[in-house]
Amino acid sequence: MKDFPRCDATAAWAALGGHFEAHGRDLDLREAFARDPARFERFAFEAPELFCDLSKNRLDAATLHFLVDLARECGVEAQRDAMLAGEAINLTEGRAVLHTALRAPPGTAPFSDEVQATRETMLAFAEAVRARAEGGARPLRHVVNIGIGGSDLGPQMAVAALAPFAHPQLALHFVSNVDGHDIASVLGRVAPAETLFIVASKTFTTQETMANAATAKAWFLAGGGSDVAAHFVAATTNVEAAARFGITRTFGFRDWVGGRYSLWSSIGLPIAIAVGAAGFRELLAGAHAMDEHFARTPVEKNLPILLGLLDVWYRNFHGYTSRSVAPYHHGLKRLPAYLQQLEMESNGKRVDREGRELAYATSPVVWGEPGTNGQHAYFQMLHQGSETIPVEFILVKESDAQAGGDSAVREALARQQRMLLANGLAQSQALMLGRSTAEALAEQPQAPAGAAISAATLAAHRTFPGNRPSTTLVLERLTPRSLGALIALYEHRVFTAGAVWGIDSFDQWGVELGKGLGNALLARLEESGAAAGPLDGSTAGLLARLRP
């Protein structure tokens, strides 16, 4: 791939710096709306399956103009095209990055025949599992996915999100943590004869997954199970290691599928089992529609690119260190955790592609909880804390919540959906508008009985600075298709920010050091391995306390 200038050496970066000093830092959202009655329409964007309101962000037309220039100077489009064409853009691992090929129609992307064939085998198996839940002497009731990171978070998030579309007789469980409490709690609720285990690991070497799989196998055999091959399958690139474990049915994929981008591959087997082959195809179709938008829409209207650029604007010019995600749909409760890996493992880097230390910040911290729960936890800080944290609201217009056919219950649930949406809207409104001290005083609140506090002091506590930025994404309904589009939107947004920053968004060397040290300390805890070499004082002291 062609070299592009470092983002901080471009003319657009300098222009953005000047623009920030002159207009950006002090941009007041209330004034901006007062000045421009068309601000909402000006910053409204459409992409497949979703609408995005950027108008409550601290930007104006000039900001977008300079950000678009930045994308062009940094070669975001050329880097995107290189990724889609299968160039080895994951430089440090010498790999292509082709999760988009997993959702492309036949014949339109690299490795098409192989992708289609692998997917058909996986989907046929998913349908067979669903059929085994419906009949027979010993029907299947439970599917336990054993994996971690990308082999857990994506499928787990999607299965939760698509619960209303899931097979009613099959319970999906996810085990990831090496902490035995995780698998023990699942094994306590299932029986060997009615359980299918999926060992999901790209490498089939990950410590946590191997330990949990071994425990599951021991439990299965101890509980009277004998046919490991019938109750354990694998999703992996390492067929030989799976075979050594005793697994004969393996669903493969290639090394050009990154772990955190792998839910579209065989790693998506739990999703396919939950929602069926047709549902899984819908998920892929939604993602592909977003891929097409990303590949073909001019930067000015290209939503994933604009969101990635907004991340750069906030991180590098405003200096915001984190972004909060607030999905107002309980099914998206695992979305923040999924996005943490997607964004922070991808863009949490401190050197550029050539290994030179960066002079600018990269990934923000990404965190959040579903609305309205977050409102009763940390929204206090978002509204009145000393830092500004941009918030991303995800609103889903229609609800699929059901609890039987009773009309009174249906109306109660419909009202709850209206309450949910009103809450989401109110939070973004409150963040932007705030409440001035004059307004707080004018409300003349009564001091609590017995509190020795003046009206002015109380008003200071009840003042909200406002002007706190937020983005609102709106989906009509959370379906396999719209979920696919939403996830692909985030994938390409992360790509865009990484492309501007000039980093390798597809490796993850940062998890290696801890893994190696963990193995060495395990040997010391078990006093089995070569306990060579001195330890630092803290680790030695803690080890002595923890040794059995």
Q: Which spans of this chain sit near ligand F6P (rule: CB under 6 A)?
A: 148-151, 201-203, 206, 209, 259-260, 345, 508, 511
| CB-nearer residue toward ligand F6P: 42 or 515 | 515
Other beta carbons within 10 angstroms of residue 32's beta carbon come to: 19
| CB-nearer residue toward ligand F6P: 343 or 345 | 345
Diameter of the chain measured on Cα atoms: 76
* Shortest Cβ 347–ligand F6P spacing (Å): 13
Considering 301, 397, 461, 515, which one is annotated as catalytic? 515
301 annotated active-site: no
Considering 208, 282, 343, 345, which one is annotated as catalytic? 345
Rounded to 10 degrees, the C-alpha dihedral 471/476/480/481 comes to -90
Contacts of 53 (CB under 8 A, 6+ apart): 40, 43, 44, 471, 472, 473, 474
* Shortest Cβ 515–ligand F6P spacing (Å): 8
| CB-nearer residue toward ligand F6P: 209 or 472 | 209
Considering 21, 46, 376, 398, which one is annotated as catalytic? 376
Tokens found for residue 171: 């319970």
Tokens found for residue 82: 């290189």
| CB-nearer residue toward ligand F6P: 511 or 530 | 511
| CB-nearer residue toward ligand F6P: 235 or 458 | 235
* Shortest Cβ 508–ligand F6P spacing (Å): 5
Phi, psi of 255 (to 5 degrees): -70, -10
515 annotated active-site: yes
Radius of gyration of the chain (CA): 25
Rounded Cα–Cα distance for residues 199 and 213 (Å): 7
* Shortest Cβ 200–ligand F6P spacing (Å): 7
Rounded Cα–Cα distance for residues 289 and 484 (Å): 9
Tokens found for residue 338: 């999924």
| CB-nearer residue toward ligand F6P: 149 or 434 | 149
Phi, psi of 133 (to 5 degrees): -80, -15
Contact predicate 337/157, CB 8 Å: yes
Amino acid present at 179 = D
Contact predicate 396/328, CB 8 Å: yes
| CB-nearer residue toward ligand F6P: 310 or 503 | 503
* Shortest Cβ 362–ligand F6P spacing (Å): 17
* Shortest Cβ 475–ligand F6P spacing (Å): 26
* Shortest Cβ 511–ligand F6P spacing (Å): 4
Bridging pattern class, strands 50-53 and 470-475: antiparallel
Rounded Cα–Cα distance for residues 499 and 70 (Å): 11
CA distances from 17 to 4, 317, 318, 498 (A): 20, 7, 10, 19
Task: Give the residue numbers marked as catalytic.
Answer: 345, 376, 515
